[in-house]
Amino acid sequence: MNIVVCIKQVPDTNEVKLDPVTNTLIREGVPSIINPDDKSGLEVALRLKDENPDTHVTVLSMGPGQAEVALREALAMGADEGILVSDRAFGGADTWATSCTITAALEHLDYDLIICGRQAIDGDTAQVGPQIAEHIGIPQVSYVEELELDKDMKGITVKRQFEDRYHIINVKFPCLITAIAELAEPRYMTIGKVFEAYQKEIKVWGLEDIKDKLDMANIGLKGSPTKVKKSFPKQGKGKGVLLTDLTADEAAQAIVAKLQEKYII
């Protein structure tokens, strides 16, 4: 069985900086980590590999050269192969252009199961995974919180988180799922695996390597239909108002008045 896990290196901080011209993230000088949902997806792939030793786990990431660090961490956790899709032509991509580029890379790989994180903490769109499945034309299940390989190894049965309930869905290979953090607690790297990870080659695929599967109108900033009008860092919450020395009735009236003032009721 061949599993491809798509991961993203994201800023390990809430204090992000934005380019005022392009409205894109400035990543230089910001500590980075593997996106948490992606790491959960990687862990479940490694568990499937533990149960079925002939499973091959490839980790794929699109990003700048520094994303190689995230791929080596994935190798140290137990992945077999790391591929970095990186080219200046891919810079500034929105979810559409990103999914088109990653799909072109996936078209050069063998896979039974593609695993993506539900969403990235630097964008929170939850769009790339489903878009990839649509581009390829394979079944997809999002928000997966439990997964079990079918006995015939021709598909998986998953538990999908859905508002106040859940779905149990069986899906045949090839397919794509998006993982939530509850799917699996990521394992720690071992010293031996870390050394091995830095002895392995990280394949770097640029535009020339995948352009035979690409529509050049759908890459990078120019191929991104999303137009950001304004970006700004997350704002802190203002200090609340503490009401003291009120009776229960007075407190209730004050709360109702405030809710009416905010047009909540």
CA 261/CA 46 separation, integer angstroms: 53
178 or 230, which is more confident: 178
Residue 14 reports pLDDT greater than 80: no
CA 23/CA 69 separation, integer angstroms: 25
List, in sequence order, every residue forming a beta bridge with 57; answer none if it has no partner: 3
With respect to residue 245, please indicate whether it lies within any of the assigned structural domains: no
Check: CB of residue 168 under 8 Å from CB of residue 159.
Answer: yes
CA 82/CA 202 separation, integer angstroms: 5
pLDDT of res. 178: 96
pLDDT of res. 163: 80
H-state helical runs in the chain: 36-51, 68-77, 95-106, 128-136, 191-197, 207-210, 248-261
CA 228/CA 245 separation, integer angstroms: 47
Check: CB of residue 148 under 8 Å from CB of residue 184.
Answer: no
With respect to residue 162, please indicate whether it lies within any of the assigned structural domains: yes
Query: pTM for this one?
Result: 0.80
CA 5/CA 129 separation, integer angstroms: 11
* Averaged pLDDT for residues 117-130: 87
Q: What CATH number is given to the structural domain containing 78?
A: 3.40.50.620
pLDDT of res. 12: 75
> Which pLDDT band holds residue 226 (cuts at 50, 70, 90)?
confident
With respect to residue 256, please indicate whether it lies within any of the assigned structural domains: no
pLDDT of res. 117: 93
With respect to residue 241, please indicate whether it lies within any of the assigned structural domains: no
Tokens linked to 22: 């392009």
With respect to residue 223, please indicate whether it lies within any of the assigned structural domains: no
Residue 191 reports pLDDT greater than 70: yes
CA 191/CA 220 separation, integer angstroms: 37
With respect to residue 264, please indicate whether it lies within any of the assigned structural domains: no
With respect to residue 265, please indicate whether it lies within any of the assigned structural domains: no
Count of domains in the chain?
1
Residue 183 reports pLDDT greater than 90: yes
pLDDT of res. 23: 63
With respect to residue 147, please indicate whether it lies within any of the assigned structural domains: yes
pLDDT of res. 263: 83
CA 146/CA 189 separation, integer angstroms: 23
CA 165/CA 171 separation, integer angstroms: 19
Residue 16 reports pLDDT greater than 80: no
Report in angstroms the alpha-carbon separations of 104 from 3, 49, 53, 89, 216: 16, 25, 28, 14, 11
Mean pLDDT score of the chain, rounded to an integer? Answer: 90
Residue 231 reports pLDDT greater than 80: no
44-103 residue pLDDT tens: 999 999 999 999 999 999 999 999 999 999 999 999 999 999 999 999 899 999 999 999
Report in angstroms the alpha-carbon separations of 128 from 116, 120, 150, 198, 230: 8, 9, 26, 29, 22
Check: CB of residue 96 under 8 Å from CB of residue 218.
Answer: yes
Segments forming the whole domain that contains residue 63: 2-213
DSSP 8-state code for residue 13: S
CA 79/CA 185 separation, integer angstroms: 16
